[in-house]
Structure 1
C-alpha cells in the first residue's frame, strides 16, 4: 500500500496516475517542509524575549551607565528580556512617557512622583489629576549622587549662610535643583529674589570656569564623589567644599514639600582626600544632602517581566559595581528605600524571596 498525503491507494499505478502521484508527493513534501518551518517559526516567536526601553535623562548619567550594564546582565542571565537604553530628557518627560507607554522604564527622583500627583513645581499648571499617575509602579530605588557646594580655598566662605552679598551658580538651566537651592538659601535667611545673594543658572563647566576666574563665588553641582567637574577644576586651582547649616536643614525639612525624601549627608575630609587625591582642601566635615532616584514602570508590565528585570540586576550586581564606580553603593538591602510609589508586584515577589520585603 502506498500513501499520498496520508491517504492509502491500492494496486498498481498507471503511468499517468504515477506521474500525478509523484507530483502530489512533491507537493506533500513541500507542504510538510512548510508546516515544519511554520512550527519552528511559531516556536521561535514564542521564545522571543520581551523587549523594553529604559529611558534616562542623558547618555552621560549614572543611570544610563546602569541601563547599559543592566542590558548586558539580562543577556548574560538569559532572562527572556531584552533592554534598549535611550536618553529622553528630564524628569517630567520620563514620568509621562511611562504613564503614556511611550517606553517601558523611566527614572525619576523619589519626591518628584509626589510633586506630580500634587501638581507642584515643574508639574504646576499641567492640568493633570492625581489619578493620571496611579498607573506608576516602582522596580527599585538607588542612590543618585550628592549635592556639591564648591568655593575657592581661602575665600572665607564655610556654609551657605556666608553667601550673603555674594554669587552662586544654583544649577543648570531648566533643572529642578535650583528650586531646592533657593529654598535652602531661604532657610539660611538669604532671599535670592530679594537680592540677598546673586543666584545664576549656568552649565557646570561654565560655572567652574567662572569660579576659577573669580566671577562666581560658589558653585552647586550634582553627582557622585568624585564629581567630574570638581576633579577637573581642582587640578587648575585650589578648591574647598562648603556645607549646609544643620539648623537650616532642619528648617528646610519643616517647610519644603516632600522634604523627608531629602537626606542629610556628611562629607568627611577623608572622603574628599580619597576622592580628589588631596587636590581639594578638606579641613572639616561638611553637611550636604541627597535624594534617591526610583526606576519606574507602568502597572501593566507583566509580573514575570518585572521579576526577571530585578532578578537579573540584583543577582549580578557585582557586574554593575565593576562597570561604574558611582553605582557601587547599590545594595539589595536598600532596593526599595525611600520609594514614593507602589512596588510592582513582580518586583515585590523577588524582594520577598530575598527577605527585603514582607509578603
Structure 2
C-alpha cells in the first residue's frame, strides 16, 4: 500500500475485546481524521470484526488516488467521491494523463453504501462588513484544495447562492490544502472560508469562539429553484441545514442556514466476493445506531435514502442486502 507522511494507519478492534482469530483483514483508505471521510471508516471498523472482517484503516489519503488503487486491485476498500468516479469513467481531470487506465479501473469499482461527507460552511467574520452574498463580489473566497472535486462543488454553490458570481471574473477563488485553510483565514488571507466540516463539529465551534462569525446560508428561494436542483444533480451533492443554535459566536445563529453537503461512496473492487460485500454492508447498517450513539457527528447518517448522489454500480453482494430490506436500487446503479 502506498503511504504518505501524512497518512495515519490504524488497526481498529472491537472496544475492550480481542480481534477474532479467524477474521479476514481488509485494507481501507479514507480522508482526514477530523472529517466524516475519516470518521466513518474508523467508527465502522469497530464493528466489522463481529462480521468476520478486521479493517486496517489508513487516513489522510488523496481519495482520487485511493479509487485508482481499489480499481487496480491494490486496495480492498476506499471512500470515493462521486465526482472522482465520474472523472475516472471519462478519463479527465486528475486522470487525464492516464485516461485509458483510469477508465479501465473505473469499470472495476462497485459501491457498498453512501454517507454524507463534508458540509460546506460558508463562513465570514461577523465584523467584516459582509452580511449577504451580494457583498461577495470582488472578494477572495477559499474554495478548496488544489486537487479534487471540492473546488467545483464550492464554486457551484457560490454561483447559485449569489445569483451568478463566477470565479476569476467576479471574485478570486483561493485554493489551499484543507489543513492550511483555517489558519490562513485567521491570518486574513481571504474573506470567506468555505469550511468542510460535519454540522456541529468542534473545529467550527473553535473558530467562532475566537471571533464572532456569520454563516452565509443559501437563501430558501434558491434552494427551491430549478438551478439549485440541477446543481445538486450535476455535482452529486445534497442540501444540508445548520440548525439554529448550533454554534456559539455565530451572529446569525438564531435561524437555520441552508448549506451543501457532499456525498461519499464506499467503493470496493468488483472481484470482492458477494459474501464479503454482503457482510460488510449489513454490518454498517446493523450498527448505525451504535455508531451514532458513540459520535454525535454521525447523527446525520441516514439509511432512508442510501443512493442519493451515488453514481457507482452497486456490488451484487450489497444489492442482496438492499433487496432483503425492500430497498429498490435505481436502474442506473444496477451492476451488469
Band the TM-score falls in, shorter-chain normalisation: 0.7 to 0.9
Aligned residue among 137, 140, 154 for 1:164: 137
Q: Superposition pairs for residues 188-337 of structure 1, below 5 Å? A: 188-194=163-169, 196-203=170-177, 207-212=181-186, 214-244=188-218, 247=222, 250-251=226-227, 254=230, 259=234, 261-268=236-243, 270=244, 273=245, 275-276=246-247, 278-282=248-252, 283-337=254-308
The corresponding residue for 1:87 is 59
1:148 has 2:148 as partner: no
What TM-score results when the alignment is normalised by the length of structure 2? 0.79
Change (3 A) 1:204 1:349: closer
Q: As a proportion of its length, which structure holds more helix?
A: 1
User: Which structure: larger Rg?
Assistant: 1
The corresponding residue for 1:342 is 313
Q: Aligned to 1:333, what secondary structure does the other structure show?
A: coil
Taking only aligned residues, the RMSD between alpha carbons, in angstroms, comes to 2.8
Change (3 A) 1:134 1:161: farther
The corresponding residue for 2:17 is none
What TM-score results when the alignment is normalised by the length of structure 1? 0.75
Change (3 A) 1:301 1:208: closer
Change (3 A) 1:357 1:50: farther
List per-residue Cα deviations over 1:90-113 (Å, max 9, x = no partner): 121111010011110011122321
| Contact preservation (8 Å) 2:122, 2:217 | yes
Change (3 A) 1:214 1:336: closer
Aligned residue among 60, 68, 74 for 1:96: 68
The corresponding residue for 2:79 is 107
The corresponding residue for 1:24 is none
List per-residue Cα deviations over 1:88-141 (Å, max 9, x = no partner): 621211110100111100111223212221233333343226343111100000
Change (3 A) 1:232 1:192: same
Q: Which runs of 5+ in 2 are unaligned?
A: 1-20
| Contact preservation (8 Å) 1:266, 1:287 | yes
Alpha-carbon distance in structure 2 between the residues aligned to 1:160 and 1:181: 14
The corresponding residue for 1:22 is none
| Contact preservation (8 Å) 2:122, 2:216 | yes
Q: Aligned to 2:210, what secondary structure does the other structure show?
A: coil
1:60 has 2:30 as partner: no
Alpha-carbon distance in structure 2 between the residues aligned to 1:224 and 1:240: 17
List per-residue Cα deviations over 1:55-83 (Å, max 9, x = no partner): 112333323332233222122x2x22222
Q: Which runs of 5+ in 1 are unaligned?
A: 1-46
Alpha-carbon distance in structure 1 between the residues aligned to 2:275 and 2:294: 26
Q: Superposition pairs for residues 178-193 of structure 1, below 5 Å? A: 178-186=151-159, 188-193=163-168
The Cα of 1:184 is off from its aligned counterpart by 4.2
The corresponding residue for 1:121 is 93
Change (3 A) 1:121 1:309: same
**Larger deviation: 121-130 or 146-155?**
121-130
The Cα of 1:203 is off from its aligned counterpart by 4.7
Change (3 A) 1:119 1:309: same
Change (3 A) 1:90 1:161: farther
| Contact preservation (8 Å) 1:142, 1:334 | no
Alpha-carbon distance in structure 2 between the residues aligned to 1:70 and 1:212: 34
| Contact preservation (8 Å) 2:35, 2:198 | no
The number of residues matched between the two structures is 304
